[in-house]
Amino acid sequence: MFNTKLRAINRLFMVEKEKVIVLDDTGTIDLGFNEISLYKGSEDEIPFWLAKELEKSGKTKVNRPNIDEMGRILFQEKQNINTPASIIQLYNNFYIIIKFLINDLKNSSNIEDLERLRKVYAIIKELSSIRLRKIIQLALLNINEQTLISKMTKEEFLVYSTISEILRKYYGDIIGNSS
């Protein structure tokens, strides 16, 4: 069930709006249910699937974190590494955007991008490990404060809710305590 929900999150992300920087006029684009026109120099929100297609053709640039920003995020998470309530706000689609960044770096012929790829992998591995530890602690402590939950990405919330459900079943069905 977890994998099905994760696939659904990934598919839903493709139709969610993403902020893009328009590098070249697109003319009118018919999306079936509405039409959009993008003009050079503007910032617009368009479905992510379209943003990626337009980025391939050089017409838009999708906002994505760079290595320095990812390093700052990691630094902030490390500041209170053992305090689960200190989880910081990420883009809601952070991990999906990072997947696209990794894919772009993998497909690059620039030798410097190999070093960037190595750095991105290292940062993401450490960042996701710290955040996962905090999310597991929040679930174990049965903390469901909306301000903390809103700081999680959709994937992280799926992990949190799955662990919370397992713990509820454990305490309720196995131990006999429904707290």
Q: Tell me the H-state helices in the chain.
A: 2-15, 48-56, 67-79, 94-106, 111-140, 146-149, 154-169
Domain end point (choices 40, 62, 84):
62
Q: Does 88 share its domain with 139?
A: yes
Is 177's pLDDT higher than 70? no
pTM comes to 0.79
DSSP assignment letter at 134:
H
For residue 178, the model assigns a pLDDT of 53
Per-residue pLDDT tens digits for 91-139 = 878 888 898 889 889 998 899 999 999 999 999 999 999 999 999 999 9
Q: Does 34 share its domain with 84?
A: no
d(CA 45, CA 47): 7
Tell whether the torsion through CA atoms of 116, 121, 125 and 128 is positive or negative. Answer: positive
- CA distance between the termini of the chain: 24
Tell me, what CATH number does 55's domain have? 3.40.5.50
Number of domains in the chain: 2
Q: Are 26 and 38 in contact (CB under 8 A)?
A: yes
Helices 154-169 and 2-15, packing angle to 10 deg? 160
Per-residue pLDDT tens digits for 2-23 = 888 878 877 777 778 888 888 9
For residue 18, the model assigns a pLDDT of 81
Tell me, what CATH number does 155's domain have? 1.20.58.2050
Q: Does 55 share its domain with 83?
A: no
Q: Which two tokens stand for residue 168?
A: 């509820």
Please give the residue range of the domain that contains residue 117. Answer: 67-175
For the ranges 21-25, 29-33, 121-125, 173-177, the lowest mean pLDDT is seen at 173-177
For residue 153, the model assigns a pLDDT of 92
Is 42's pLDDT higher than 70? yes
In terms of residues, how long is the chain?
179
Q: Are 14 and 48 in contact (CB under 8 A)?
A: yes
* CB atoms closer than 10 angstroms to residue 14: 14
